[in-house]
Structure formats: C-alpha cells, structure tokens
Chains A and B, each alone.
Chain A
Amino acid sequence: MKEKKNKQELDKEFKNEEVVVEGEATLDRELLGDDKYIEALEEKLGEALADAVTCKNLTQRLQADFDNYRKRNQTLAEEMKQLGISMVVEKLLGVLDNCDLARKYISDESALQGFVMMETQILMALETFGLKEVEAEGLPFDAKVMNALEREKAEGKEDQVLAVISKGYTLNGKLVRPAGVKVGY
C-alpha cells in the first residue's frame, strides 16, 4: 500500500517536472512557432551540454581528489602513530641535549654517577620506541644524516667528521635530527 502511494507521488512529481522546469518559463510550441521553438530548444540543449561538461570536469576532479585522499588514508593510521611518537621523542631530545651540556659542569663524582644513570635510563626508554643515535665520529661526512656546522684543516682527514658538536637521532630509520658535526678539509 505504502509502495503504491510512493509510486503515485513519484509519477506526480515526474509529470510536474515535465511541464515546468523549476524557475524557467515553459516552452510553448504553438505560441512560439516551429522555428523559434527549435531555436529555443537548441539553445537549451547547448546550455545543458555546457553544464554537462562542467559537471563532468568537476566530478573527475572530485573523484581524483577522493582517490588520492583514500590512498593516503590507507597508511595514515600507522603514520599518525609514528607521528605521535616522534612528537614526544623530539621534545625529549632537548632534555637529552641539556643532559649532555650539564654533565661537564658536575664536579661531584657520586652526583655525576647518578646523573649519568638517569640519562642512560631516559635514552634506553626512548630506544624502545626506535630512537637511535646517528653514528658520525670518524666517519665520512654524509649530508643525509649529518649537518656540517664547522670545518677545519685536517690533512688526510678530508671530508671526515672530526667531532660531533650536537648528537643526531633517527627514529625507526627516519631522521629526526641530523648530527651537527665538524668536518675536515
């Protein structure tokens, strides 16, 4: 019963659409005459075709946007997890840097021992998330993981890392921060 009623309503709507296109004047063949009627129809057809091209272009663009979005979203969850970890780890790198700087100003032997133990503990905790220090000392300079901060004349040690000025780190193989180094030339 309900289905029948719906069908009747749809038929009625369809008929209405045939008679008057929303917001537009009805084309009356008798009133316009054949030539003008055809002319008006052709004009409408042209407009409709132009609209169709616009809509097709828009659909293609939206489809392409959506496909790209979907492709990127497939890996997004894992990336977001890694991003969350890296955000926390990056903040803690500042703490590790300061530990490095502060260590040389601690003169008390037992205080230094405790300090080093705490520093190691922080580093080990971060290592469980995939943090790894960039090895640089004595190695050939590699701009992929190192940042040259200074250079010094060093015979036989051209393009080699003479000293690490600030430590660099990778997180699960991805560079978080390059090692700041002094390079020989």
Chain B
Amino acid sequence: MGKIIGIDLGTTNSCVAVMEGGEPVVIANAEGMRTTPSVVGFAKDGERLVGEIAKRQAVSNPDNTVISIKRDMGSDRKVRIDGKDYTPQEISAMILTKLKNDAEKYLGEKVTEAVITVPAYFSDSQRQATKDAGKIAGLEVKRIINEPTAAALAYGVDKDENKQQKVLIFDLGGGTFDVSILELGDGVFEVLATSGNNRLGGDDFDKKLMDYIVAEFKAKEKIDLSSD
C-alpha cells in the first residue's frame, strides 16, 4: 500500500509532506530545501528545469522561464515556449512531478496518490485544473483541500469535536496573502468568508526591507550596497 503525499502547490513556492507515525513530515527536495520554487525553465539545450535550478536561471533565460503559473490555473491562457504551447495544467504538472520524484526518493517507493491544497476562493474550474495537473503528473488526486482548512487541520482545531467555533486563518505566502474565516462544527469546515491580495507576499516584505537598509546605509556611509 503506497503512501499518499500532501502537496501545497503554491504561487511562489510549493511543498510536499507525508504522514509518518501519525505526524506530518515535510520532505526536503533534492537540493536539501523544504520548499521548492514553483518555477519551470526550459534550457537552450531543451532540458526542462524545475524548482531551485529553474529559479537560478530565470534572469538569464526570462523568455523560457515560467513563474506564478498558479495565477492562470483554470484559464484558457497558454504559455508559448520555443513554438510549443503549454497549458497551466501542464506547467503545474511539471512542478508536481518534481515534488513527486523528491517524495519517491525520500520514501524509497513509488508514489501514485496525493492530496493537493488550493485557495478557498478557487472556482470549480480552477480546482478541476489542479486535479488535471495531478493526473498529468501521474498522481491520482484523492482530495482537493482548501488551504485554510489544511492549516486549521494542521493546528488541530478539529480535535475538539463538540466545539462549534470560528477560526481566522492568515496565509502569508511568498507572492500572495489570503485571509479566511472558517466555521467548524460536527467535524465539518465551512468557509464563511475569504479575501486577500494575490499580488502581495513575503517577497514584497523582503524587497521593502532590503531597499530600506540600502537607502539608510547609503545615506550614512555613502556606499551603494545595491551593486554588491
């Protein structure tokens, strides 16, 4: 009986985990990182690059690098690389394949089933597109779970079965920021409201901090660190 992996297919970064001894364990990728950039690159020699390596070559090969494909899930938009059109599902499948391969390497066995999380505001077509991406990657998607629901489950808020409660979930990702209010009763989660900004995330915080430090240092020391 194979293991089912859990995948957070994010806009900026993705993550894969597995249950071991009743606890979720995040699987490090081949590069030793616990998150994998959701980036796909097509090298000049035709090699397909996914994750950290794809991100590293993004600046030198911007025309053949796809970032933030999650924003296009469920749409008709296609990405043209070297004269070939790719659907968002196909690009996402490349990311999922990389996560699947890393999980297989860690577990030492084939992985064919997965649970994938999506934003609570995802429409049916966006959810279906995510399922299709899983299928292309050779994964049977057992469930599509709302990201705030997965977060609530991870914090064990469902443990107290008798308690009817409302939970507020802040999800600050690399490129998106979502806030959801969930109601939990009888072991069922209901998304009461969800909102956010899909162009604001941790990367923007990093950039603001960096710009501030560079400006302060320049004002005090007359040295421009931005070129270092």
Contact = CB atoms under 8 A, between A and B. Distances in A.
Contacts of B133: none
B228 A147 contact: no
Interface of B: 1, 3, 20-21, 31-32, 41, 43-44, 49, 53-54, 56-61, 107-108, 228
Contacts of A143: 41, 43, 49, 53-54, 56-57
Contact of B56 (A71, A146, A159): A146
A151 B21 contact: no
Contacts of B49: 143
Interface of A: 57, 60-62, 64-65, 68-69, 71, 101, 141, 143-144, 146-151, 159, 165, 174-175, 178, 183, 185
Contacts of B228: 101, 165
A60 B44 CA distance: 47
A61 B2 CA distance: 10
B107 A68 contact: yes
By DSSP majority rule, is chain B's interface helix, strand, loop, or mixed?
loop
B108 A159 contact: no
B119 to A, nearest CB: 30
Given A65-B20, A143-B41, A151 B54 contact: no
B56 A68 contact: no
B44 A148 contact: no
Contacts of B44: 159
B56 A183 contact: no
Given A149-B59, A175-B31, 14 more contacts: A60-B1, A64-B3, A68-B107, A69-B20, A101-B228, A143-B43, A143-B49, A143-B53, A143-B56, A146-B56, A148-B58, A151-B60, A159-B44, A183-B59
Given A65-B21, A68-B107, A68-B108, A141 B31 contact: no
